[in-house]
Amino acid sequence: MSTQTIPMPIAADSPSSSAAPPDSTAPLKPASLPGLFPGVALLFGIGLLGKLLQNATTILRTRYHLPVPHIEYVVWAIILGLIVSNFLGVARIFRPGIATYELWLKLGIVLVGARFLLQDVLHIGGLSLLLVAVELALSLSVMTLLGRIFRLPPKLTSLLAIGSSICGVTAIMAAQGAIDSDEEDTSTAIAAILTLGAIALVTFPAIGHSLHMGQQAYGMWAGLAVDNTAESVATGALYGQDAGRWTILAKTARSSFIGFVVLGYAVYWASKGKAAHVKNKPLFLWQKFPKFILGFLAISILATAGFFTQGQLNSISSLSQWAFLPAFAGVGLRTNMRDLVDQGWRPLAVGILGEVFIAIVTLGLVFWSYNHGVAR
Amino acid sequence: MATPETTRPAQPRHGLKLPINVDLLAIGIGLALAVLIRFGVIHQISF
């Protein structure tokens, strides 16, 4: 069975050190199960604390009538993760376990399939595929143009275009080997995408509220415009539970394009003699396809076929939220504000301009879909 | 020509090798939990 490489969280051993300590550059050994425990415990600990804080503020507001704002556990988990990562620092012992946030995220997405009837998946998922196709064509073109204007290295431009048009870090990691890019370009592109994801967590809900967007429309927009899957799901959940699940549907539709886009870039760079030729294209597409989507579809099909009672569907849905709890903590833990200044201004400028363009285009597409009755 | 902003080494990121595909693991755990709920081994989970 193939192994999977999970991007490690960007966290310093010490919050006071401006440069990475020498031993932090040493490759991490393959994780053993006991080695994962401290980081997994930290993920769940932060997530649970976020849930407790949400409950505490609810009690203060309803029982004691104190003017405390309602803050969702999603926000608490991300904020607590950010505080730990940026001010306290994450010790090396926690890192392997923190990297499992991706497993919890994908498990949550698989389980949330129970909340969708297959006809919704086909209708909204199909609409998402159509919107993604438009978004892809425009965003890849604009990012390539911006990369040229800002004189970025061509392969860095390719990585930024792939990351911002499909699914962030996963797409960049998938493209790294296919287009034979430098480790440095890959790191810069990942840092830019994660920084932009952190910005989206703050800006998207504010824009959604100011435009009085409905849960489904906002969820579609967040799924189509926010790059990295974890940040996208969190951005949707910040707006509401319903928005969160529609975000997941749009995001999974978008992620399903990853193989085609990476293959396109691999063929392009191979034609220039700067990457290896792809010999078996169908196998390449299958290898790059995000297979957890199949689990999401399987649960959705079972739910539609009446395999579960309503109570059981509610339980599966609750389990998905428990799985998202450590995933959202992971979003905060691997976001390091130092990356804002460390990566240089050009990749970030290209990323911001490109993302603003993508956000406006996808917002327009979503509004058009709802105003013309295409979405329901 | 590369600019100083893009040639500065970014903070290194290391991959964590797990002995199993994360996607397949997520599918396996998800389906197993769903089946356990379906047949009453796990019941009434709330959030």
State pLDDT tens for residues A174-213: 888 788 888 778 878 888 888 888 889 999 999 999 999 9
Q: Which two tokens stand for residue B6?
A: 């893009």
Rounded to 10°, the helix A73-83/A229-239 angle is 130
For the question of whether the overall pTM of this predicted structure is more than 0.80, the answer is: no
- Per-residue model confidence as pLDDT tens digits over A288-338: 888 898 999 999 999 999 999 999 999 999 999 899 999 989 988 887 777
pLDDT attached to residue A341: 64
Question: What residue of B is the nearest CA neighbor of A185?
Answer: B6
CA distances from A174 to A179, A190, A295, A372, B17 (A): 9, 12, 20, 36, 15
What span, in angstroms and rounded, lies between the C-alpha atoms of A31 and A1? 16
Q: What is the DSSP letter of A11?
A: -
CB atoms within 10 A of CB A250: 29
Contacts of residue A305, defined as CB under 8 A and 6 or more positions apart, other chains included, come to none
- What are the structure tokens assigned to A292, written together? 């957890």
Decide: helix, strand or coil at residue A4: strand
- Run of H or E residues at B16: strand B15-18
Q: What is the mean pLDDT of residues A344-358?
A: 86
Query: What residue in A sits closest to B25 (Cα-Cα)?
Result: A103
Picking from B7, B11, B25, B33 by the largest number of A CB atoms within 10 A of its own CB, the best residue to mutate is B11
A6·B15 Cβ contact <8 A: yes
Whether this model's ipTM surpasses 0.90 comes out as: no
Nearest chain B Cα distance for residue A40, angstroms: 14
If pLDDT is split at 50, 70 and 90, which confidence band does B19 have?
low
The 8-class DSSP code of residue A307 comes to -
Q: Are A98 and A311 in contact (CB under 8 A)?
A: no
What's the pLDDT band for A376 if we cut at 50, 70, 90?
low
